Every structure is written in C-alpha cells, then in structure tokens.
Amino acid sequence: MTADELLVIAQERGNRTGCGQCSALVCRAWESLSGDFDRSQLRRIGSLRDPAQEEPTYEEYHPDGTHAWSDDAPIAPDWFPYNRCEVWECAVCGRPFLRYTEFGGYYTDERIRELRAERVARPPHAEPPSGTAAD
C-alpha cells in the first residue's frame, strides 16, 4: 500500500465514530493490543512495508519534538515504525487502524493505533530513508 492510498483511507474512514466492537481500540498513540481482544473483529486491508526494501529504516520522523508514544506523533509511512505496519479495519464499521508488532528479546508486543488523516505526514524528502539508524 502506498502512502497516497493510506491517506485516502484515512480521509474517507479515519473520522468514523466506530462501534462497540472496536471502541476499545481507539487510541491516538500506540497502545498494546490486549491479549483478550478477539482479533477476528479486525480485517487486514494492506501493508505499508515496501517489498522492495529488504531492511526498512529504523529512523523515526518527529519534526515537532514528539516521540513514538506521543498522541500527536506523525504517521510517516516511510519512517519507523510505520514502514513495518499493516493497515486493518474493524470488520463491523470499517474504522481503520495501524498495527505493528514489536519483537523484543523475550517478548512480542502487538501494538495498535487509530488511523487519522490529520496525523498522516508526507516529509519533504526526495527519497525515503534507507538502511538503519546504524548506517
């Protein structure tokens, strides 16, 4: 899925009120997906991961001093963690969400964030960042 396609989904569906099935998932910042949440209530609609990039960047985009956990952190599709996200929607009302799985040394943490058009950022770089922060 391209950044433009993501923006269209966010504009068309991101302001939906939601429903009883997905109301617990509505979060402006990244949150852990509860272990008891029935994942069958979500439907995958695409991935932001570029199949041509073997190892997407770990660099983050925070021009206004936000951080990964900020409510108002930008959703920058070419930057971490969005470049490793999947786009999902509520199977009942169609409200869109971003999902990302954090793989730690001893844990796996499924994270979710609501997709809002006003948070989607298109940084003014000619090419998406490449490689990792260690480059």
Name the β-bridge partners of 124. none
Q: Where are the domains of the chain?
A: 3-119
Which residue's entry shows tokens 């190892």? 55
Render pLDDT for 50-79 as a digit per residue (tens, 0 to 9). 999 889 999 999 989 999 889 999 999 999
- What three-state secondary structure class fits 99? strand
pLDDT digits (tens, 9 = 90+) for 104-114: 778 889 999 99
Mean pLDDT of the chain: 88
pTM over 0.75: yes
